[in-house]
Every structure is written in C-alpha cells, then in structure tokens.
Amino acid sequence: MSPRTKEQYKEIRQGKKQLIMGSALELFAQKGFENTTISHIAKKAGISKGLLYNYFESKDVLLEAILNTGIDELMEFFDPNKDGILEEQELEFFINESFRLVEKNREFWKLYLSVSLQPAVFKKFEKRIDDLYRPVMNMLVSYFKNAGFGNPLMETMLFASLLDGITLDYVMKPDMFPLDQIKKELIERYCNHKKTAP
C-alpha cells in the first residue's frame, strides 16, 4: 500500500472534523450546550476523547466553529456581489436562501437560538456576531430608506425580528408552520416595495 499524500491526509482530517462538528451540533441542539460533555461528543462521533482534542481544544472552541460555519454560510447569501449596496433582487435571494438553510439545517438554528437565549454562553460569541451583523443592519436601513419606507431603522428591526420569529416557530414546530406561505408574504412586503411600502 502506498503512503497517503498530503491531500489525502487533509481530506481525512477535514472529514473527521466535520464528523465531530456534526455530532456536537446534534447533541448541543438536543441536550443543550451546558449538558453536553466532550465524552458525549466523542462517543457520538465514535472516536476517543484524545482524538477529539487533536481537532478542538475545548467545548467552547467546538461551539464557536459550529456557529461560525452556520453564520458564514448564511452571510454568503447576503449582498451576494459584496458591493455594500443591497438591491431588491438581492434581498429576495437572501430571503429565499435563508428559508432554504433553515429547512436544510434545523438543528443548527435550534442551537443558534438556544445559545442566543443563554447570556453566559452567548457572551463568548457576541462580539463576532455583532461585528458580522452591524454592516448587514446598515445595508438594510439604506435599502428600506431607498425603498420609501417611512422609518427605515424601525423597518430593519421589524424585518430582523420577523426572520428570528419565523426561524423560532419553524424550529419548534416544523410540521405546523407554513414556511412557503410566510416566505411569499415576506418577499411581497419587502421585495415588491413599490406596491406595499407604507
């Protein structure tokens, strides 16, 4: 058998890292961050604690990696051309992709909301999330201002709150929540603003 190449080792390492993060995500979402131990995660992933520590030095670092991955995936779809100006079709694209990601990875959003409601845990990641969301909020304020909404800041806060509330409701009761209809209403209100702006 020939020795493994650098690329093969990299792939193996990446695969193991994804396995650990997936196992931790599932346990954090089900049991809560505080109630999940490194031993639980290692057992779920089918590896030793020692091997897990080769990839993540602590439970906090592991949680941070999971949150960063999920948030980065979402932010990839906001202002997709990254020119700092949000246009109507870009906001519609972002809404569509946000809903797709919530459906695709309900466990992640369950974890994200759970962490958001635990001040001691959330404080560890608050600066990173604030740094990421501040330019997003500024772009939304500009968008709503240009769209003719009377109070762009209030509309931005309402829009963000609607997305949070929709995510929470869907995460808690996916079978009872009409995600597609809600998405249509949101797009109608915010992406067809000539018809609907107050």
Which sequence spans correspond to the domains of the chain? 1-57, 58-196
Answer for the pair 107, 25: CB distance below 8 angstroms, yes or no: yes
The topology under which CATH files domain 58-196 is Tetracycline Repressor; domain 2 (1.10.357)
Q: Tell me what pLDDT residue 194 has.
A: 53
Q: What is the pLDDT along the chain (198 residues), one digit of tens a residue?
A: 566 677 767 777 788 899 999 999 999 988 888 899 999 999 999 999 999 999 999 999 999 899 989 988 999 999 999 999 999 999 999 999 999 999 999 889 988 888 888 888 788 788 888 888 899 999 999 999 999 999 999 999 999 999 999 999 998 888 888 889 999 999 999 997 654 444
**CATH C-level class of 1-57:** mainly alpha
Structure tokens at 184: 């249509």
77: burial class by Cβ within 10 Å (0-12, 13-18, 19+)? middle
CA distances in angstroms from 14 to 9, 17, 60, 83, listed in the order given: 8, 5, 19, 31
Specify the pTM.
Answer: 0.83
Q: Tell me what pLDDT residue 198 has.
A: 46
Q: Tell me what pLDDT residue 12 has.
A: 74
> Which helix (DSSP H) or strand (DSSP E) does residue 135 occupy?
helix 126-146
C-alpha–C-alpha distance, residues 79 and 143, integer Å: 11
The answer to whether the Cα torsion of 32, 163, 137, 157 is positive or negative is: negative
Q: What angle do CA 149, 151, 156 make, to 5 degrees?
A: 85
C-alpha–C-alpha distance, residues 172 and 164, integer Å: 12
C-alpha–C-alpha distance, residues 145 and 152, integer Å: 5
Q: Around Cβ 43, how many Cβ atoms within 10 Å? A: 15
What does the DSSP 8-state code read for residue 176?
Answer: G
3-class state of residue 18 by DSSP = helix
